[in-house]
Structure 1
Protein backbone atom coordinates (compact mmCIF):
# COMPACT_ATOMS: atom_id res chain seq x y z
CA UNK A 1 0.00 0.00 0.00
CA UNK A 2 1.15 3.53 -0.79
CA UNK A 3 2.46 4.83 2.58
CA UNK A 4 1.35 8.32 1.65
CA UNK A 5 -2.29 7.26 1.70
CA UNK A 6 -3.96 7.43 5.07
CA UNK A 7 -6.41 4.75 6.11
CA UNK A 8 -9.39 6.92 6.85
CA UNK A 9 -13.03 6.94 5.90
CA UNK A 10 -13.69 8.37 2.46
CA UNK A 11 -10.46 7.16 0.85
CA UNK A 12 -10.15 4.67 -1.99
CA UNK A 13 -7.11 2.45 -1.38
CA UNK A 14 -5.69 -0.87 -2.56
CA UNK A 15 -5.17 -3.41 0.24
CA UNK A 16 -4.19 -7.08 0.38
CA UNK A 17 -6.52 -9.79 1.67
CA UNK A 18 -4.70 -11.59 4.51
CA UNK A 19 -7.28 -13.81 6.21
CA UNK A 20 -10.88 -14.90 5.95
CA UNK A 21 -13.79 -15.38 8.31
CA UNK A 22 -17.48 -16.26 8.16
CA UNK A 23 -18.21 -12.56 7.56
CA UNK A 24 -15.80 -12.03 4.69
CA UNK A 25 -12.10 -11.29 4.35
CA UNK A 26 -9.82 -9.04 6.35
CA UNK A 27 -7.50 -6.61 4.59
CA UNK A 28 -4.03 -5.75 5.84
CA UNK A 29 -4.02 -2.29 7.41
CA UNK A 30 -0.22 -2.26 7.38
CA UNK A 31 0.12 -1.69 11.13
CA UNK A 32 1.38 -5.16 12.02
CA UNK A 33 -1.63 -5.68 14.30
CA UNK A 34 -4.26 -8.17 13.16
CA UNK A 35 -6.78 -6.42 15.41
CA UNK A 36 -6.53 -3.39 13.13
CA UNK A 37 -7.09 -5.27 9.89
CA UNK A 38 -10.10 -3.99 7.94
CA UNK A 39 -13.13 -6.16 7.21
CA UNK A 40 -14.39 -6.49 3.65
CA UNK A 41 -17.79 -8.07 4.27
CA UNK A 42 -19.18 -10.61 1.81
CA UNK A 43 -22.07 -8.23 1.11
CA UNK A 44 -19.59 -5.55 0.03
CA UNK A 45 -17.68 -7.79 -2.39
CA UNK A 46 -18.36 -7.52 -6.11
CA UNK A 47 -16.38 -10.70 -6.84
CA UNK A 48 -14.92 -13.57 -4.87
CA UNK A 49 -11.73 -12.57 -3.06
CA UNK A 50 -8.90 -15.00 -2.33
CA UNK A 51 -6.21 -14.60 0.31
CA UNK A 52 -3.32 -12.64 -1.22
CA UNK A 53 -5.50 -10.70 -3.65
CA UNK A 54 -4.90 -6.97 -3.95
CA UNK A 55 -8.28 -5.23 -3.75
CA UNK A 56 -9.30 -1.62 -4.50
CA UNK A 57 -11.78 -0.62 -1.80
CA UNK A 58 -13.66 2.38 -0.47
CA UNK A 59 -13.23 2.93 3.27
CA UNK A 60 -16.16 4.03 5.42
CA UNK A 61 -17.30 3.90 9.03
CA UNK A 62 -19.92 1.32 9.98
CA UNK A 63 -22.70 2.13 12.50
CA UNK A 64 -20.25 1.35 15.34
CA UNK A 65 -17.64 3.76 13.88
CA UNK A 66 -15.36 0.92 12.81
CA UNK A 67 -13.34 1.39 9.63
CA UNK A 68 -14.86 -0.93 7.03
CA UNK A 69 -14.18 -1.64 3.35
CA UNK A 70 -16.40 -1.96 0.30
CA UNK A 71 -15.67 -2.81 -3.32
CA UNK A 72 -18.51 -0.48 -4.38
CA UNK A 73 -16.34 2.48 -5.33
CA UNK A 74 -17.76 6.04 -5.38
CA UNK A 75 -18.22 7.91 -8.66
CA UNK A 76 -16.41 10.92 -7.21
CA UNK A 77 -13.47 11.48 -4.89
CA UNK A 78 -12.43 14.26 -2.55
CA UNK A 79 -12.31 17.63 -4.34
CA UNK A 80 -14.32 16.46 -7.35
CA UNK A 81 -17.80 17.51 -8.46
CA UNK A 82 -20.62 15.41 -9.90
CA UNK A 83 -24.37 15.27 -10.26
CA UNK A 84 -25.68 13.17 -7.37
CA UNK A 85 -29.09 12.01 -6.22
CA UNK A 86 -30.61 13.08 -2.90
CA UNK A 87 -31.58 9.89 -1.05
CA UNK A 88 -33.17 11.44 2.04
CA UNK A 89 -33.43 14.69 3.98
CA UNK A 90 -33.13 15.53 7.67
CA UNK A 91 -33.58 18.57 9.87
CA UNK A 92 -29.84 19.28 9.58
CA UNK A 93 -29.39 18.65 5.86
CA UNK A 94 -29.61 15.71 3.48
CA UNK A 95 -27.80 12.59 2.33
CA UNK A 96 -26.73 12.01 -1.27
CA UNK A 97 -25.71 8.94 -3.24
CA UNK A 98 -22.14 9.13 -4.57
CA UNK A 99 -22.14 5.47 -5.61
CA UNK A 100 -20.46 4.31 -2.40
CA UNK A 101 -21.71 1.94 0.27
CA UNK A 102 -23.35 4.68 2.33
CA UNK A 103 -24.87 8.06 1.64
CA UNK A 104 -22.77 11.19 2.24
CA UNK A 105 -24.03 14.10 4.31
CA UNK A 106 -24.97 17.44 2.75
CA UNK A 107 -25.09 19.98 5.61
CA UNK A 108 -27.89 22.53 5.56
CA UNK A 109 -25.29 25.33 5.43
CA UNK A 110 -23.85 23.87 2.21
CA UNK A 111 -27.19 23.77 0.36
CA UNK A 112 -28.17 26.16 -2.43
CA UNK A 113 -31.90 26.43 -2.04
CA UNK A 114 -33.99 23.55 -0.71
CA UNK A 115 -33.55 19.96 -1.82
CA UNK A 116 -35.97 17.06 -1.82
CA UNK A 117 -35.57 13.30 -1.82
CA UNK A 118 -35.18 11.99 -5.36
CA UNK A 119 -33.79 15.21 -6.81
CA UNK A 120 -30.43 15.33 -8.61
CA UNK A 121 -28.02 18.13 -7.68
CA UNK A 122 -24.48 19.25 -8.41
CA UNK A 123 -22.19 18.68 -5.43
CA UNK A 124 -18.53 18.73 -4.42
CA UNK A 125 -17.04 16.06 -2.16
CA UNK A 126 -14.92 17.38 0.71
CA UNK A 127 -13.72 16.40 4.18
CA UNK A 128 -15.21 18.32 7.10
CA UNK A 129 -13.41 19.49 10.24
CA UNK A 130 -13.98 16.15 11.96
CA UNK A 131 -12.40 14.28 9.04
CA UNK A 132 -15.65 12.83 7.70
CA UNK A 133 -16.63 13.06 4.06
CA UNK A 134 -19.41 15.51 3.17
CA UNK A 135 -20.70 17.31 0.09
CA UNK A 136 -21.39 20.94 -0.74
CA UNK A 137 -23.54 22.54 -3.42
CA UNK A 138 -21.08 25.46 -3.59
CA UNK A 139 -19.46 24.39 -6.87
CA UNK A 140 -18.99 27.71 -8.71
CA UNK A 141 -15.18 27.68 -8.55
CA UNK A 142 -15.02 24.07 -9.72
CA UNK A 143 -17.35 24.83 -12.63
CA UNK A 144 -15.03 27.60 -13.77
CA UNK A 145 -12.16 25.11 -13.85
CA UNK A 146 -13.92 22.31 -15.77
CA UNK A 147 -15.77 24.53 -18.27
CA UNK A 148 -14.73 24.97 -21.92
CA UNK A 149 -15.45 27.90 -24.27
CA UNK A 150 -18.50 27.28 -26.45
CA UNK A 151 -17.55 26.30 -30.02
CA UNK A 152 -19.58 25.41 -33.08
CA UNK A 153 -22.77 26.78 -31.60
CA UNK A 154 -24.98 29.56 -32.92
CA UNK A 155 -28.02 31.53 -31.83
CA UNK A 156 -31.13 29.38 -32.08
CA UNK A 157 -29.40 26.08 -31.35
CA UNK A 158 -30.75 23.96 -28.52
CA UNK A 159 -28.50 22.61 -25.77
CA UNK A 160 -29.08 20.42 -22.74
CA UNK A 161 -27.76 21.83 -19.48
CA UNK A 162 -28.18 21.40 -15.74
CA UNK A 163 -28.46 24.20 -13.18
CA UNK A 164 -25.68 24.40 -10.62
CA UNK A 165 -26.54 27.74 -8.99
CA UNK A 166 -29.24 30.41 -8.85
CA UNK A 167 -29.09 34.14 -8.22
CA UNK A 168 -31.69 36.88 -7.97
CA UNK A 169 -31.17 37.50 -11.70
CA UNK A 170 -31.37 33.95 -13.02
CA UNK A 171 -29.77 30.52 -13.22
CA UNK A 172 -26.24 29.33 -13.98
CA UNK A 173 -25.92 26.12 -15.98
CA UNK A 174 -23.34 23.70 -17.35
CA UNK A 175 -24.15 22.11 -20.70
CA UNK A 176 -23.32 18.53 -21.64
CA UNK A 177 -20.49 19.99 -23.76
CA UNK A 178 -19.16 21.63 -20.54
CA UNK A 179 -20.08 25.16 -21.64
CA UNK A 180 -21.16 27.70 -19.04
CA UNK A 181 -24.58 29.19 -19.66
CA UNK A 182 -26.78 31.84 -18.07
CA UNK A 183 -30.58 31.75 -18.04
CA UNK A 184 -32.10 35.12 -17.10
CA UNK A 185 -35.32 35.24 -15.12
CA UNK A 186 -37.05 36.89 -18.09
CA UNK A 187 -36.19 33.89 -20.26
CA UNK A 188 -37.81 31.33 -17.96
CA UNK A 189 -41.20 29.81 -18.73
CA UNK A 190 -41.28 28.23 -15.24
CA UNK A 191 -39.06 28.49 -12.18
CA UNK A 192 -36.47 25.67 -12.31
CA UNK A 193 -34.47 24.35 -9.36
CA UNK A 194 -30.78 23.81 -8.73
CA UNK A 195 -29.83 20.44 -10.19
CA UNK A 196 -32.63 20.42 -12.76
CA UNK A 197 -31.72 19.52 -16.34
CA UNK A 198 -33.20 21.67 -19.10
CA UNK A 199 -33.27 21.84 -22.87
CA UNK A 200 -32.77 25.53 -23.71
CA UNK A 201 -32.26 27.71 -26.77
CA UNK A 202 -29.07 29.70 -27.30
CA UNK A 203 -29.80 33.44 -27.54
CA UNK A 204 -26.29 34.88 -27.41
CA UNK A 205 -22.70 33.62 -27.67
CA UNK A 206 -20.39 35.80 -25.61
CA UNK A 207 -16.81 36.70 -26.48
CA UNK A 208 -15.54 34.82 -23.41
CA UNK A 209 -17.07 31.58 -24.70
CA UNK A 210 -20.08 31.54 -22.43
CA UNK A 211 -23.63 31.50 -23.73
CA UNK A 212 -26.96 33.02 -22.79
CA UNK A 213 -29.97 30.74 -23.12
CA UNK A 214 -33.76 30.83 -23.01
CA UNK A 215 -36.52 28.39 -22.15
CA UNK A 216 -38.85 30.22 -24.54
CA UNK A 217 -39.51 29.13 -28.12
CA UNK A 218 -38.40 31.43 -30.92
CA UNK A 219 -42.02 32.43 -31.50
CA UNK A 220 -44.71 32.65 -28.86
CA UNK A 221 -47.07 30.65 -31.07
CA UNK A 222 -44.51 27.94 -31.86
CA UNK A 223 -46.16 25.42 -29.57
CA UNK A 224 -49.57 26.06 -31.15
CA UNK A 225 -48.15 25.33 -34.59
CA UNK A 226 -46.31 22.22 -33.39
CA UNK A 227 -49.41 20.92 -31.61
CA UNK A 228 -51.42 21.37 -34.80
CA UNK A 229 -48.84 19.30 -36.71
CA UNK A 230 -49.25 16.43 -34.28
CA UNK A 231 -53.04 16.55 -34.44
CA UNK A 232 -52.90 16.58 -38.24
CA UNK A 233 -50.69 13.49 -38.19
CA UNK A 234 -53.36 11.65 -36.17
CA UNK A 235 -56.36 12.93 -38.13
CA UNK A 236 -56.64 9.98 -40.51
CA UNK A 237 -56.18 6.98 -38.18
CA UNK A 238 -56.62 8.56 -34.78
CA UNK A 239 -53.09 7.70 -33.73
CA UNK A 240 -49.45 7.84 -34.80
CA UNK A 241 -46.38 5.68 -34.05
CA UNK A 242 -44.44 8.58 -32.54
CA UNK A 243 -44.02 9.23 -28.79
CA UNK A 244 -41.63 11.05 -26.48
CA UNK A 245 -39.37 7.98 -26.86
CA UNK A 246 -39.01 8.42 -30.64
CA UNK A 247 -35.53 9.43 -31.81
CA UNK A 248 -34.78 13.09 -32.58
CA UNK A 249 -33.82 12.16 -36.15
CA UNK A 250 -37.19 10.60 -36.90
CA UNK A 251 -39.05 13.51 -35.29
CA UNK A 252 -37.08 15.99 -37.36
CA UNK A 253 -37.69 14.06 -40.58
CA UNK A 254 -41.41 13.59 -39.95
CA UNK A 255 -42.43 16.94 -38.45
CA UNK A 256 -39.55 19.28 -39.22
CA UNK A 257 -39.17 20.21 -35.56
CA UNK A 258 -36.71 19.37 -32.79
CA UNK A 259 -37.31 16.61 -30.27
CA UNK A 260 -37.65 19.25 -27.53
CA UNK A 261 -40.33 21.13 -29.49
CA UNK A 262 -42.12 17.83 -30.18
CA UNK A 263 -42.15 16.96 -26.48
CA UNK A 264 -43.41 20.41 -25.53
CA UNK A 265 -46.28 20.18 -28.02
CA UNK A 266 -47.07 16.60 -27.02
CA UNK A 267 -47.00 17.56 -23.35
CA UNK A 268 -49.47 20.36 -23.94
CA UNK A 269 -51.87 18.07 -25.84
CA UNK A 270 -51.66 15.47 -23.07
CA UNK A 271 -52.24 18.09 -20.38
CA UNK A 272 -55.27 19.34 -22.28
CA UNK A 273 -56.57 15.78 -22.44
CA UNK A 274 -56.53 15.62 -26.23
CA UNK A 275 -54.03 12.77 -26.65
CA UNK A 276 -52.52 9.92 -24.68
CA UNK A 277 -49.60 7.52 -25.11
CA UNK A 278 -50.18 3.78 -25.08
CA UNK A 279 -48.14 0.77 -26.23
CA UNK A 280 -45.64 2.87 -28.19
CA UNK A 281 -48.32 4.97 -29.92
CA UNK A 282 -49.75 8.45 -29.41
CA UNK A 283 -53.50 8.45 -29.91
CA UNK A 284 -56.45 10.80 -29.68
CA UNK A 285 -58.37 10.48 -26.45
CA UNK A 286 -61.89 9.03 -26.38
CA UNK A 287 -61.62 7.75 -29.92
CA UNK A 288 -61.29 4.28 -31.33
CA UNK A 289 -58.05 3.97 -33.30
CA UNK A 290 -58.47 2.64 -36.79
CA UNK A 291 -56.21 -0.24 -37.70
Structure 2
Protein backbone atom coordinates (compact mmCIF):
# COMPACT_ATOMS: atom_id res chain seq x y z
CA UNK A 1 0.00 0.00 0.00
CA UNK A 2 1.85 3.07 -1.20
CA UNK A 3 -0.33 5.44 0.89
CA UNK A 4 0.87 3.97 4.20
CA UNK A 5 2.59 6.59 6.35
CA UNK A 6 1.82 9.48 3.99
CA UNK A 7 -0.70 12.28 3.54
CA UNK A 8 -2.91 11.44 0.55
CA UNK A 9 -6.05 12.73 -1.13
CA UNK A 10 -8.37 9.73 -1.43
CA UNK A 11 -11.83 9.42 -2.98
CA UNK A 12 -14.85 8.29 -0.95
CA UNK A 13 -16.16 5.03 -2.43
CA UNK A 14 -19.03 4.32 -0.03
CA UNK A 15 -20.43 4.95 3.44
CA UNK A 16 -21.19 2.51 6.26
CA UNK A 17 -22.35 2.83 9.85
CA UNK A 18 -18.67 2.93 10.86
CA UNK A 19 -17.57 5.73 8.52
CA UNK A 20 -16.48 6.04 4.89
CA UNK A 21 -14.41 3.68 2.78
CA UNK A 22 -11.78 5.43 0.68
CA UNK A 23 -10.27 4.14 -2.55
CA UNK A 24 -6.59 3.16 -2.50
CA UNK A 25 -4.31 3.24 -5.53
CA UNK A 26 -3.95 -0.57 -5.53
CA UNK A 27 -7.72 -1.05 -5.86
CA UNK A 28 -8.33 -1.71 -2.20
CA UNK A 29 -10.12 0.40 0.40
CA UNK A 30 -9.31 1.93 3.75
CA UNK A 31 -11.78 3.02 6.42
CA UNK A 32 -12.07 6.64 7.53
CA UNK A 33 -13.88 6.26 10.89
CA UNK A 34 -17.11 8.17 11.43
CA UNK A 35 -15.55 10.47 14.01
CA UNK A 36 -13.36 12.02 11.30
CA UNK A 37 -16.26 12.87 8.99
CA UNK A 38 -17.82 16.36 8.97
CA UNK A 39 -21.21 15.02 7.93
CA UNK A 40 -21.61 16.76 4.58
CA UNK A 41 -19.34 14.47 2.54
CA UNK A 42 -20.72 12.45 -0.37
CA UNK A 43 -19.50 9.63 -2.57
CA UNK A 44 -16.87 10.82 -5.04
CA UNK A 45 -15.52 13.53 -2.73
CA UNK A 46 -11.78 13.67 -2.10
CA UNK A 47 -10.57 13.69 1.50
CA UNK A 48 -7.02 14.48 2.65
CA UNK A 49 -6.01 11.79 5.14
CA UNK A 50 -3.07 10.10 6.80
CA UNK A 51 -3.02 6.31 6.51
CA UNK A 52 -1.51 4.11 9.22
CA UNK A 53 -2.54 1.02 11.20
CA UNK A 54 -4.86 0.83 14.20
CA UNK A 55 -4.34 -1.05 17.48
CA UNK A 56 -5.13 -4.32 15.69
CA UNK A 57 -2.69 -3.52 12.85
CA UNK A 58 -5.48 -2.87 10.35
CA UNK A 59 -5.04 0.01 7.85
CA UNK A 60 -7.04 3.07 8.86
CA UNK A 61 -7.30 6.66 7.60
CA UNK A 62 -7.48 9.74 9.83
CA UNK A 63 -7.71 13.44 9.08
CA UNK A 64 -5.24 14.22 11.87
CA UNK A 65 -1.69 14.98 10.77
CA UNK A 66 1.23 13.35 12.63
CA UNK A 67 4.41 15.16 13.61
CA UNK A 68 6.43 13.06 11.17
CA UNK A 69 5.72 11.04 8.00
CA UNK A 70 7.20 7.88 6.52
CA UNK A 71 10.97 8.03 5.88
CA UNK A 72 11.29 11.30 7.82
CA UNK A 73 13.05 12.12 11.10
CA UNK A 74 11.63 13.99 14.08
CA UNK A 75 12.45 14.39 17.76
CA UNK A 76 9.64 12.64 19.67
CA UNK A 77 8.89 12.27 23.36
CA UNK A 78 8.77 8.79 24.86
CA UNK A 79 5.42 8.18 26.59
CA UNK A 80 5.79 4.61 27.81
CA UNK A 81 8.36 1.81 27.91
CA UNK A 82 7.40 -1.87 27.92
CA UNK A 83 9.39 -5.11 27.72
CA UNK A 84 8.77 -5.12 23.96
CA UNK A 85 9.78 -1.53 23.19
CA UNK A 86 8.76 2.12 23.64
CA UNK A 87 5.77 4.20 22.60
CA UNK A 88 6.38 7.70 21.23
CA UNK A 89 4.03 10.67 21.00
CA UNK A 90 3.76 11.61 17.33
CA UNK A 91 0.51 13.54 17.49
CA UNK A 92 -1.97 10.74 16.80
CA UNK A 93 -4.39 8.76 18.98
CA UNK A 94 -2.26 5.64 18.56
CA UNK A 95 1.35 6.16 19.63
CA UNK A 96 4.31 5.20 17.41
CA UNK A 97 5.93 1.96 18.54
CA UNK A 98 9.73 1.60 18.64
CA UNK A 99 10.64 -2.11 18.99
CA UNK A 100 13.58 -3.04 21.21
CA UNK A 101 15.47 -4.26 18.15
CA UNK A 102 15.24 -0.79 16.58
CA UNK A 103 16.26 1.10 19.72
CA UNK A 104 19.73 2.68 19.73
CA UNK A 105 19.75 2.74 23.54
CA UNK A 106 17.27 2.20 26.38
CA UNK A 107 14.60 4.89 26.53
CA UNK A 108 13.07 6.75 29.44
CA UNK A 109 9.50 8.13 29.56
CA UNK A 110 9.46 11.91 29.28
CA UNK A 111 12.77 12.07 27.39
CA UNK A 112 13.06 13.04 23.72
CA UNK A 113 14.76 10.99 21.01
CA UNK A 114 15.50 11.24 17.31
CA UNK A 115 13.12 8.86 15.53
CA UNK A 116 12.71 7.85 11.90
CA UNK A 117 9.38 6.43 10.72
CA UNK A 118 9.81 3.20 8.75
CA UNK A 119 7.70 0.27 7.54
CA UNK A 120 8.11 -3.05 9.29
CA UNK A 121 7.83 -5.25 6.22
CA UNK A 122 7.14 -8.35 8.33
CA UNK A 123 3.90 -6.89 9.69
CA UNK A 124 3.24 -4.07 7.15
CA UNK A 125 2.88 -1.54 9.96
CA UNK A 126 4.64 1.72 10.73
CA UNK A 127 7.31 1.65 13.41
CA UNK A 128 9.82 4.08 14.84
CA UNK A 129 13.58 3.53 14.58
CA UNK A 130 16.09 5.32 16.82
CA UNK A 131 19.16 3.70 15.23
CA UNK A 132 19.64 6.80 13.12
CA UNK A 133 23.25 6.21 12.02
CA UNK A 134 22.29 3.67 9.36
CA UNK A 135 20.42 6.47 7.57
CA UNK A 136 23.29 8.98 7.69
CA UNK A 137 25.56 9.91 4.79
CA UNK A 138 28.83 11.87 4.57
CA UNK A 139 27.99 15.53 4.05
CA UNK A 140 28.89 16.93 0.61
CA UNK A 141 31.92 19.16 0.23
CA UNK A 142 29.77 22.25 -0.35
CA UNK A 143 29.35 22.35 3.45
CA UNK A 144 32.17 24.87 3.61
CA UNK A 145 33.28 26.92 6.65
CA UNK A 146 31.06 29.97 7.08
CA UNK A 147 28.08 28.54 5.17
CA UNK A 148 24.68 29.00 6.77
CA UNK A 149 22.41 25.97 7.29
CA UNK A 150 19.41 24.82 9.31
CA UNK A 151 19.65 21.95 11.75
CA UNK A 152 17.51 19.88 14.12
CA UNK A 153 19.10 19.62 17.57
CA UNK A 154 18.41 16.06 18.68
CA UNK A 155 20.74 14.95 21.48
CA UNK A 156 23.00 16.36 24.19
CA UNK A 157 26.23 14.53 25.01
CA UNK A 158 29.34 15.35 27.03
CA UNK A 159 31.00 16.48 23.81
CA UNK A 160 28.16 18.77 22.76
CA UNK A 161 24.85 18.86 20.91
CA UNK A 162 24.18 16.50 17.99
CA UNK A 163 22.42 18.08 15.02
CA UNK A 164 20.58 16.56 12.05
CA UNK A 165 21.07 18.37 8.73
CA UNK A 166 18.78 17.82 5.74
CA UNK A 167 17.48 14.56 7.28
CA UNK A 168 20.72 12.78 6.24
CA UNK A 169 23.87 14.45 7.60
CA UNK A 170 25.16 14.58 11.18
CA UNK A 171 26.62 17.67 12.82
CA UNK A 172 27.90 18.71 16.23
CA UNK A 173 27.95 21.91 18.26
CA UNK A 174 30.73 21.60 20.84
CA UNK A 175 29.66 22.09 24.46
CA UNK A 176 32.42 24.59 25.21
CA UNK A 177 31.05 26.86 22.47
CA UNK A 178 27.47 26.92 23.75
CA UNK A 179 26.60 29.95 25.87
CA UNK A 180 22.80 29.84 25.66
CA UNK A 181 20.12 27.22 26.40
CA UNK A 182 19.49 24.83 23.49
CA UNK A 183 16.26 22.86 23.33
CA UNK A 184 16.27 19.26 22.14
CA UNK A 185 13.94 19.11 19.14
CA UNK A 186 14.43 22.75 18.14
CA UNK A 187 15.25 23.73 14.57
CA UNK A 188 17.58 26.67 14.26
CA UNK A 189 19.94 28.52 11.97
CA UNK A 190 23.57 27.41 12.29
CA UNK A 191 26.91 28.01 10.61
CA UNK A 192 29.46 25.50 9.34
CA UNK A 193 32.72 25.57 11.25
CA UNK A 194 34.38 22.60 9.56
CA UNK A 195 33.62 19.54 7.43
CA UNK A 196 35.49 16.64 9.00
CA UNK A 197 37.21 13.84 7.08
CA UNK A 198 34.48 11.40 8.15
CA UNK A 199 31.83 13.58 6.50
CA UNK A 200 30.37 14.93 9.74
CA UNK A 201 30.00 18.68 10.25
CA UNK A 202 31.29 20.82 13.11
CA UNK A 203 28.80 23.65 13.64
CA UNK A 204 28.54 26.89 15.58
CA UNK A 205 25.68 29.06 16.75
CA UNK A 206 26.95 32.36 15.36
CA UNK A 207 28.47 33.42 12.03
CA UNK A 208 32.23 33.24 11.71
CA UNK A 209 34.58 36.20 11.56
CA UNK A 210 33.57 39.82 11.83
CA UNK A 211 29.83 39.24 11.43
CA UNK A 212 29.90 37.21 14.62
CA UNK A 213 31.16 40.15 16.62
CA UNK A 214 28.73 42.54 14.98
CA UNK A 215 25.82 40.34 16.01
CA UNK A 216 27.05 40.18 19.60
CA UNK A 217 27.72 43.90 19.61
CA UNK A 218 24.19 44.54 18.40
CA UNK A 219 22.84 42.52 21.32
CA UNK A 220 24.88 44.60 23.79
CA UNK A 221 23.63 47.85 22.21
CA UNK A 222 20.02 46.69 22.48
CA UNK A 223 20.46 46.00 26.21
CA UNK A 224 22.16 49.36 26.77
CA UNK A 225 19.39 51.20 24.92
CA UNK A 226 16.84 49.49 27.16
CA UNK A 227 18.66 49.67 30.52
CA UNK A 228 21.22 52.42 29.98
CA UNK A 229 23.99 50.55 31.80
CA UNK A 230 25.49 47.05 31.84
CA UNK A 231 27.52 46.05 34.94
CA UNK A 232 30.10 44.06 33.00
CA UNK A 233 33.74 44.88 32.34
CA UNK A 234 37.17 43.33 31.63
CA UNK A 235 37.40 41.83 35.10
CA UNK A 236 33.87 40.41 35.26
CA UNK A 237 33.49 36.73 36.04
CA UNK A 238 33.03 34.66 32.82
CA UNK A 239 29.98 32.92 34.33
CA UNK A 240 28.33 36.29 35.00
CA UNK A 241 28.91 37.31 31.38
CA UNK A 242 27.41 34.04 30.19
CA UNK A 243 24.32 34.43 32.40
CA UNK A 244 23.63 38.04 31.39
CA UNK A 245 24.48 37.88 27.68
CA UNK A 246 24.62 34.20 26.69
CA UNK A 247 28.15 34.59 25.31
CA UNK A 248 31.72 33.83 26.36
CA UNK A 249 33.86 36.46 28.07
CA UNK A 250 36.23 36.39 25.10
CA UNK A 251 33.35 37.16 22.75
CA UNK A 252 32.12 39.92 25.09
CA UNK A 253 35.54 41.61 25.17
CA UNK A 254 35.78 41.50 21.37
CA UNK A 255 32.31 43.04 21.07
CA UNK A 256 32.89 45.89 23.48
CA UNK A 257 36.28 46.53 21.85
CA UNK A 258 34.51 46.93 18.52
CA UNK A 259 31.83 49.18 20.04
CA UNK A 260 34.44 51.28 21.83
CA UNK A 261 36.41 51.84 18.64
CA UNK A 262 33.19 52.88 16.94
CA UNK A 263 32.54 55.32 19.84
CA UNK A 264 29.22 53.66 20.58
CA UNK A 265 29.96 52.99 24.26
CA UNK A 266 31.86 54.31 27.26
CA UNK A 267 33.86 51.78 29.27
CA UNK A 268 33.88 52.50 33.01
CA UNK A 269 35.43 50.66 35.94
CA UNK A 270 32.13 49.10 36.99
CA UNK A 271 30.54 48.56 33.57
CA UNK A 272 29.63 50.03 30.21
CA UNK A 273 27.12 52.62 29.05
CA UNK A 274 26.10 54.26 25.80
CA UNK A 275 28.26 57.07 24.50
CA UNK A 276 26.67 60.53 24.57
CA UNK A 277 28.66 61.72 21.54
The aligned residue for residue 82 of structure 1 is 73
- State the partner residue of 1:117: 110
SS class of match (1:140):
helix
1:215-234 equivalent positions in 2, closer than 5 A: 229=221, 232-234=224-226
Deviation at 1:165, TM superposition (A): 6.0
Residue of structure 1 equivalent to 2:201: 211
Distance 1:30 1:194 in 2: 38
> d(CA) in 2 for partners of 1:59 and 1:117?
27
TM normalised by structure 1 equals 0.52
**For residues 40 and 166 of structure 1, do their structure 2 counterparts lie closer, same or farther at Cα, with a shift above 3 Å needed?**
same
Aligned residues: 227
Instruction: Please tell me whether residue 93 in structure 1 is matched to residue 86 in structure 2.
Output: yes
2:172 is matched with 182
2:44 to 52, 56, 62: 52
Matches within 5 A, 1:37-48: 38-45=30-37, 48=40
Residue 10 of structure 1 deviates from its aligned partner by 4.6
DSSP 3-state at the match of 1:233: helix
TM-score (norm 2): 0.54
How far apart, CA to CA, are the structure 2 residues paired with 1:96 and 1:26?
27
Aligned residue number for residue 163 of structure 2: 173
Aligned partner of 2:64 in structure 1 is 72
Give matches, 1:147-162, under 5 Å: 147-151=139-143, 153-154=145-146, 161-162=151-152
Ranges in structure 2 where 5+ consecutive residues have no aligned partner = 230-240, 248-277
Cα displacement string for residues 116-169 of structure 1 (whole angstroms, at most 9, x for unaligned residues): 5374x4321123343321111222233317x54445642xx7765334567775
Q: Which residue number in structure 2 is paired with residue 126 of structure 1?
A: 118
CA distance in 2 between counterparts of 1:31 and 1:232 reads: 65
Alignment check: 8 A CA contact 1:23 1:41 kept: yes
Alpha-carbon separation, structure 1, partners of 2:26 and 2:150 = 50
How far residue 232 of structure 1 moved from its aligned partner, in angstroms, is 3.1
How far 1:51 sits from its partner (Å)? 0.9
